[in-house]
Amino acid sequence: MRKTVLLVLSSILVVAFASSAWAQFINGGFETGDFTGWTKNGGYWYGGIGTYNYTGDPGKSAIVTPGLDPIVGHINQVYSGNYAARVNDGDSYYTGWGGYHFSTISQSVVWTEPNIYFAWAAVLEEPGHDHDHEPHFYLTLTDDTTNTTLYNVLYASDTIPASLLNTVYIPQTGDDWKYTDWQVVNLDTSAVEGDTLTLTLLAADCGYGGHSGYVYLDGFGAAPPSPSVPEPATFFLFGTGITGFGLLRRKLRK
């Protein structure tokens, strides 16, 4: 009888743990030291932001450890814990050639928590090109269940808002490099609990091939990420629009 009870309790705990884990982004803080749980992709683009040739991961992304960004300095590569992801790279700084690359990481999860947090920081070389050939990135969180967008930013090196903008001139490349401090996002997801959410981050070199852009990502989860070291960061709170959307859904269901 005791063995039966213990077996039942063990099964309950396993199911509970699995459900809890499934409600979280797998390896959301990259603390496994690799991209476990994430799908990498990418390829080449030759101008026209939003127009990309997917040929597979170009191998330009990496897991990074704490320390100042090697090109612009000033920002820590990791926001929370021991690791973060860097999507795409700064090849033009080292070789003088960005190479038309773009890189992506993505992950989907059935989300069952009332909030979601994450942090990002961008580094984009400013070559002075026309807008559709500038280094850029976009970061989106979509609700696949309802085909709606919960969070979306798209910045080229010529369109980063002044409130986020920092600029460093790098003599080695002869260009300004623009970067943001860590941006910490808090989304109220109480209205979309149980839906399938997908996070996608894309970072791209310039469309003429000579200049680079990359983005750091860290701390995806249901609790606020704690900075590893004191960092200037902007904290965003989103919720009204999502909550209103959820109320509408509930009304329609009734």
Task: Report yes or no on whether pTM surpasses 0.85.
Answer: no
Q: Which residue has the tokens 């070789």?
A: 95
Q: In 3D, which of 65, 63, 109 has the Cα closest to residue 87? A: 63
Alpha-carbon distance of 234 to 254, in angstroms, equals 39
Q: In 3D, which of 236, 179, 217, 247 has the Cα closest to residue 79? A: 217
Q: Give the three-state DSSP class for 242.
A: helix
Q: In 3D, which of 79, 125, 81 has the Cα closest to residue 233? A: 79
**50-102: per-residue pLDDT in tens?**
999 999 999 999 999 999 999 999 999 999 999 999 999 999 999 999 999 99
**179-188: per-residue pLDDT in tens?**
999 999 999 9
Indicate if the pLDDT at residue 139 is higher than 70.
yes
- Quickly state the pLDDT bin for 23 (edges 50, 70, 90): low
